[in-house]
Structure 1
């Protein structure tokens, strides 16, 4: 959420930054609401002073027997009490209106973010690895003989479209990938492993900018809980309302959880296979940092995700998203796209973003500077490290062989009891 004081001080700059994201100018509307709110607060304070002054004089009037003055002052006290209540209600209503407007506005992009309308305008930062060459036409993951354990028919019977049942080698390989990712992030990258709920309250979704704008993209239970779209929600909101010691920053966390998304805005996209499902698993990374460290932390987080792909031998490229393709809460985003031979293209497998103080202001997460001083908002970052199902897809497609089997990355062999491939019959061997 944005700081209204910043908008007061720099309305033109605020509108210009929003325009880079395709948003209309709103500063004048926001400032008009803010002016009503401030006027009501000031009027309430003035009325309170009058009431207090009259309250002090009531006793004196009574003591000297001035009944007329006593009654006038008593009536004034009652009048001011009602006036104060009315003005406070006006201020509260204006504050709620202002907050609602601010909650629906996206974060402002860094100056370094390239302008653009969509993914075609994203800028490549680097590439790693060479896409494999095959002496046959490579298949997509769901077409591979080795992937017999991807059961879409049973999943459709159970839950409908965009679900999958994993069996046998596919289930074990999927589990191994998640375990491998968590082990690397905890043992080598210094992230704290965290197990969180997948059901959260409104406040957690609001604080991490998933509500109110994206309610249709998430699932809500009949008793009001939300199924998390990612553990970014739970990991980030874990510091809501706290004042952290600066010496404890950065806080780096990781979690492997189920994630749930309605994919409301993706009708007709990626309907084949398991690339875009309503339920999936992800290993998430979240950092809570000092504002001075957040830019460096974004680079560090991106490298943590890239390193997982490198250890698995999966070619990728890293891009910085343009203003038109960036997520609602982000100030800068690095997408990592893995090579999928079956599609003959790179597809997103991780998205690492810094939100600045955007989420922290919504959830009132602050830190106390070393040496004391007024608490300041922390900066929050989040990134996939990685999407487990999409990594499974990449492992299958990049390791496919002419006989229908799949060679598995060496890094996974210890997690698979020394097994090195999936046969054309769908068995680990």
Structure 2
């Protein structure tokens, strides 16, 4: 990231119309690169998200022996085989990517190599203890700050020990880390989820040929992976990222006169919770041309402006939209009546404390709300525009989702919203401002 902040004012403008295509899904892109690097042969990927986070994953896999290169519009990955990762020569720089860090720790845990993970200032504050605990039980060793933050050096275990691990909190990253560690661990590694989380890892592991079983037992989900796996190379088309589509779906809902089609959006039920909540609030979101791509449900979303009504968001669906709450808060700020969210403690340990950061950002542009320990209660304007930035720009805390959410707030404001720094947007959505300009022509 460049050293100088890049502020930008997002002004109210014309309706969002036409057809756009958001970048590839970040979660699927990370996993395609990692599993392609563990298959023997050439995996081909189109639609890969080329944001900084995914490029950090690609660089790390190269450092551990895989060939990862782009040819035209296609990424080609020549893997080293499960168990074939090489000792990296230098530290693995994860930038701002918590997903890269936690999942790669899982991969390294089952290999007899040592790797040091570093990251930027934001990532270096984020807790890694939640993956250190199960991976340590499998035999990996960790050396670093007492709080389990980066920089961390880990020694993988060869052979690692299969475990049965019950997730203390719903986390797709922790689940995935343990399953990836289980790939090169003799025997069966088991993860028990109290609440189902995004299942891209399970879908893609099966697609690459891993033996994996999923069982629903009461309210829990039990996932078992058989070790000493042999992965087969795949051809993957990455669907559009629903987390990226979310910003445009909310913007088109809020800006009068909008009629926008967002093409090729991944609608995996463990990820698409936001669209259901928006519909519950009155949004007009139609799924056109539904289809399946690489085991993932996909459709084009046609979104038209519609007035919203406040709602109480069921905390049970929080894992299926955890990254979309910042932009949902913006939608709630313009709805009629009150929206109540609870059960969102996880948002306090994202790239920033997203509850406090969004509460402060929205209040600074004229929204009315209260922050609680585990959520926000937002009193909407009933469709009246937010005031916009009064004095200082909105503080984004180097958090890409806060920057993009407040950009959407600017479109639905009287005076526009200035964000203090748009650089972090490149981590997940490098073409965000270009697409916004294209949809607003």
Confirm or deny a common fold (TM above 0.5): no
Q: With the length of structure 2 as denominator, give the TM-score of the two structures.
A: 0.23
Report which of the two has the higher share of strand.
2
Report which of the two has the higher share of helix.
1
Structure with the greater alpha carbon radius of gyration? 1
Q: With the length of structure 1 as denominator, give the TM-score of the two structures.
A: 0.23
